[in-house]
Amino acid sequence: MPRQPRLDAPGLLQHVMARGIERRELFRDDKDRKSFLNRLAIILEEMQTQCYAWALIPNHFHLLLRTGPTPLSKVMRRLMTGYAVTFNKRHKRSGHLFQNRYKSVVCDEDPYLLELIRYIHLNPLRAKLVQDLKELDKYPWSGHSTILGRYKNPLIPDQDRSYQPSAKGSSAKKQKFFAEKTIEDVLLHFGETKRIARRRYREFVKNGIDQGTRPELQGGGLVRSAGGNKAGLLGRQKEEREKGDERILGSGDFVIQALDKANELFERSVNTPISLGELIRRVTKDRKIDLEDLLSSKRTQEISNTRAIISYLAAIELRNTGTMIASHLRLSEKSVSRCIERGKKLLDKDEKLLDYLQ
């Protein structure tokens, strides 16, 4: 069955998950984890995206995001491709790092925001990365310890690099980073002062430990939204059943609202891979390279870089074979392999090259 286009629109709450290919490790050590979080921090700020909860497990990660004006697909493409390039370079490996595309589920905020924050932040305990809540309180690789104020928020961009919040207009008052505002938003659900709110939040998390894996929070669909009670749903007449969608966690009314709000046509165009021919057209046009020169035997630096960018994006992002790329660019497969390696280095320096896929 063809996969459905993702749902996305500014303001939607989304539970995002991604795994390593063949369930291999995404994070081998703390340096990898810091690299991922540093990248995520910058992307969240630049793209005005809120992250309410996060957890890094060795072979997967969870994020609870609320997108701003930038589509989720673009946020995740920059995050995952950029991290994969850095990871492969550091560990001297090649090929795909992530298993397929990321999974995202649109969530109804009122019943699920706090439940998902708790669920995501308890992941390290369920995965036995920590032994109890006291260890989780000090665990630096999930947002739980940050909400408690035990660690500096790693989703605030490195200010040593003179990174400033992306606020519009000028103001003498110091602007807050998006990550700072998000923590404040979470704590406001538990109390008016930080001290009270953190105590109540921790108690809320503690009460969720005995709830187990919570399968109803791991995906969308009407049955999941009903807590797994399939019998109650299937017993109704067809016209009386609530509308359900596997991409959405929420009631029938929320499903309808989310479908109305989401710009599905836009997301379909974003998530449907462009053809190799269209990629070549976009890159050559933007870089002002004549197609005849690209396909000739010329070896200027600009032409070589253009071939490298096309080869890398075609192979790694669009999953074209080396044979197909070689045919389109009139190169040998060996030359295409060298172009892909060169493209990786170019992308590592300039992640905006991913915009050719938009």
Q: Say how many residues make up the chain.
A: 358
**pLDDT above 90 coverage of the chain, percent:** 45
- Residue 238 confidence (pLDDT): 46
Phi, psi of 350 (to 5 degrees): -145, 95
pTM: 0.67
Domains by residue range for the chain, with CATH: 13-267 (3.30.70.1290), 273-357 (1.10.1750.10)
Residue 223 is predicted with a pLDDT of: 41
In this model, does residue 219 exceed pLDDT 50? yes
Q: How far apart, in whole angstroms, are the C-alpha atoms of residue 177 and residue 199?
A: 24
pLDDT confidence tier of residue 1, bands split at 50, 70 and 90: very low
Q: How far apart are CA 22 and CA 33, in angstroms?
A: 19
Element (H, E) at 50: strand 50-57
SS3 17: strand
Residue 64 vs residue 237, higher pLDDT: 64
Q: How far is CA 136 from CA 122, 140, 192, 235, in A?
A: 8, 8, 24, 42
Question: How do residues 9-41 score in pLDDT, each as one tens digit?
Answer: 677 888 999 999 988 999 999 999 999 999 999
pLDDT digits (tens, 9 = 90+) for 148-170: 999 999 999 986 655 767 655 44
Query: Quick check: 306 and 350 in contact, CB under 8 A?
Result: no
Higher pLDDT, 51 or 262: 51
Please say if the pLDDT value at position 144 is more than 70: yes
C-alpha angle 293/297/302, rounded to 5°?
Answer: 55
pLDDT tens-digit series, residues 86-137: 999 999 998 889 987 888 888 877 778 999 999 999 999 999 999 999 999 9
- CB within 8 Å of 2: residues ≥ 6 apart: none
What's residue 268's pLDDT? 44
Partners of residue 16 on adjacent β-strands = 63, 104
Higher local confidence (pLDDT), 239 or 42: 42
Question: Burial, 334: exposed, middle or buried (Cβ in 10 Å; 0-12, 13-18, 19+)?
Answer: exposed
The DSSP call for residue 158 is: -
Confidence of residue 270 (pLDDT cuts 50, 70, 90): very low
pLDDT at 108: 78
